[in-house]
Chain A
Amino acid sequence: MKLFAYYDTGHEFSEEIIMAAGFTPYKILGDVHVSNDPADRYVHHYICPFSRSCLTEGMARSKDWVGIAFCHGCDTTNNQYDIWKYHVKTDFLYWINTPAKNDLAANTFHEKELRRFITHLENHFSVEITQDKLSHAIQTSNRVKHLMRELAALRSVKDIPNSAYHALTRKCVQMNKEELVELLEDKLKEWKNLPVFPADREPVLLTGSDITYGEVMEILETAGLRAVRDDLSLGERYFAQDISQEGDPVKALVDYHTRIPQPPTKIPFDARLSYLESCLKETPVSGIVYQILKFCEPHGLDLPFMTGELKRLGHTLIVIEREYTPTVDQQLVSRLESFREIIQRSL
């Protein structure tokens, strides 16, 4: 099945529309192992390195994709769309203006945007995106979400390395969904038989900038920390909620996006905080790791409010800023180890 790529810094994009059009949705995640030189010709170094990596991938791989869609996200994403128009070769580049708010007017607007996107896809690719096809795609998506919820719940009871969980979350947004369901079913059987949660790991909640490559998870692991909950787009944001299978599927997609754990680009901040609070109530953790990618603006903006509130609620947390690099940064490991020592002495 052909790949349709999308650029989405949260979980705004309705993959089900692409599935109903007969393509495999492929989330552009860049490649931290490849130099950003090509993108750096067009974007300054002080702009989020992840977005530059995505542009590098776009310039190199756009011919493998039948089309590319962008969702309104952080300012970096929004500005990237204009750059991609000039520097990424594709026959179909599309902008979906997903709203920042969650009120009635925003939802009406979102629905119009999705219908407009469907019409453009139908016209450009000569396909018909029927209600039935959308409903079937939603059903498949829900199966993925259900399996991921079961798998993710095992993190706090079984010995599942951070990077193993992360690898699955990447597959969720890049793999053919039918094959993905089979893979997740196999993983579930495998993970259920893993040994219990190791005594030498401290369970933590992981939040902040989206983590797009496994090496970041290894930093946590090296420091003796295990993320058992998160609110990341490659993570719980993607599968925390099901899409309703009742009524009009487009309306169901709009409604779905109002219920998922919110990213920092959404207003107000409180929705994000309340999801974190619910995670902390449901799953005992020893602390919170709040990591932000250098130059990630929305999370930088969000940080004082979020950390202030979480501390006020009595949670132990550490804030770390990381570079966009696959190298396991020993200084970050050291800080996280210090954090683990604080947690262990306070227990």
Chain B
Amino acid sequence: MLTVGIDIGSITTKIALMDKTKLIYTDVAFSGYDMARAWQDIFKTMLLKTGTKEMDISCIVSTGYGRGSVGIAHKKITEISCHAAGAAYFYPDVKAVIDIGGQDSKCITLNGSGTVSDFVMNDKCAAGTGRFLDVMARALHVELGDFGAMDHKSKKPVIISSMCTVFAESEVISMIARGESRENIIAGIHESIASRMVSMMNRIGVSKPLVMTGGVSRNKGMRTAIEKKIGLKLLVPNEAQVCGAIGAAILGGA
């Protein structure tokens, strides 16, 4: 039985094709302005590359902020349930999931059977989200992909005290003007996001195994900062970025 999960986020659109419990295919593309176009393109590419026919797919599930735009979806499920299901696919005994997305960050707790028991979300403020990292990367003229390696070279992370992305950006610009190294600033940025994540986690009380999903999980500096602050090891599947889409495909077969 083939099922497809399509996760339309504010920055990227992800797709996963599953045959019962076997992961067949995943892909990631930019969402751009036209969300309908984004899922149609990635869906067509998937059909083409896997040789799948649309009529062979028994269930398509959409998730993410753009889930309403997927006209062909049989079900629309929120990203909270999908990220939890995706994480439980890789780590069946997972107790908590954190996800730093483009415009929100969330912390989810699961009961023993892999279903969501509680969640907290920051979706009102860019601080503590992927957008915060984007803004900082632009201010520092550094590729986001290099953040992890540069953090590793930091000798003394700076302290970023502003709670707001806009003010934090000014703070970072002042640090650049003062001659602070980019490595130290980047490590400080990671610590600042980690602090916000950890206070969110403390609100619902997380325990291990703790899984991190979403694109930001590829950033080693970010992972280390969170691990240090929460005192727990983060488990990160190779497919962390597409975990929401995988979870959607799994729930499509449930």
In the complex, the answer to whether A345 meets B65 with C-beta atoms within 8 Å is no
Interface string of B215-253 (1 = CB under 8 A from A): 000000000000000000000000000000000000000
Number of interface residues of B (CB under 8 A): 15
In the complex, the answer to whether B116 meets A345 with C-beta atoms within 8 Å is yes
In the complex, the answer to whether B65 meets A341 with C-beta atoms within 8 Å is no
Interface string of A322-347 (1 = CB under 8 A from B): 00000000110011011001100110
User: Is B78 interfacial (CB 8 A cutoff)?
Assistant: yes
Closest Cβ neighbor of A336 among chain B residues: B78
Closest Cβ neighbor of A330 among chain B residues: B65
Contact residues in A for B127 (Cβ distance below 8 Å): none
C-alpha gap A128/B81 in the complex (Å): 63
In the complex, the answer to whether A338 meets B80 with C-beta atoms within 8 Å is yes
Question: Quick one: which of A330, A335, A341 contacts B116, CB cutoff 8 A?
Answer: A341
In the complex, the answer to whether A341 meets B104 with C-beta atoms within 8 Å is no
Contact residues in B for A334 (Cβ distance below 8 Å): 65, 78-79, 123
In the complex, the answer to whether A342 meets B77 with C-beta atoms within 8 Å is no
Contact residues in A for B119 (Cβ distance below 8 Å): 338, 342
In the complex, the answer to whether B115 meets A338 with C-beta atoms within 8 Å is no
User: Is B199 interfacial (CB 8 A cutoff)?
Assistant: no
C-alpha gap A338/B77 in the complex (Å): 8
Given contacts A330-B65, A331-B104, A346-B115, contact A341 B81 (CB under 8 A): yes
Question: Quick one: which of B80, B81, B116, B124 contacts A331, CB cutoff 8 A?
Answer: B124
Inter-chain residue pair count (beta carbon < 8 A): 35
User: Is B121 interfacial (CB 8 A cutoff)?
Assistant: yes
Chain A contact-residue range equals 10 to 19
User: Is B117 interfacial (CB 8 A cutoff)?
Assistant: yes
Within B93-119, the residues touching A (CB, 8 Å) are 104, 115-119
C-alpha gap A295/B55 in the complex (Å): 52
Q: How far is the CB of A164 from chain B (nearest CB, A)?
A: 24
Known pairs A338-B81, A341-B80, A342-B81; list 18 more (Cβ under 8 Å): A331-B65, A331-B104, A331-B123, A331-B124, A334-B65, A334-B78, A334-B79, A337-B78, A338-B78, A338-B80, A338-B116, A341-B77, A341-B78, A341-B116, A342-B116, A342-B118, A345-B115, A346-B115
Give 24 CB contacts A-B under 8 Å: A321-B124, A331-B65, A331-B121, A331-B123, A331-B124, A334-B65, A334-B78, A334-B79, A335-B121, A335-B123, A337-B78, A338-B78, A338-B79, A338-B116, A338-B119, A341-B78, A341-B80, A341-B81, A342-B116, A342-B118, A342-B119, A345-B81, A345-B115, A345-B116
9 closest Cβ contacts across the A-B interface?
A338-B80, A338-B78, A331-B123, A341-B81, A345-B115, A337-B78, A342-B116, A334-B78, A341-B78
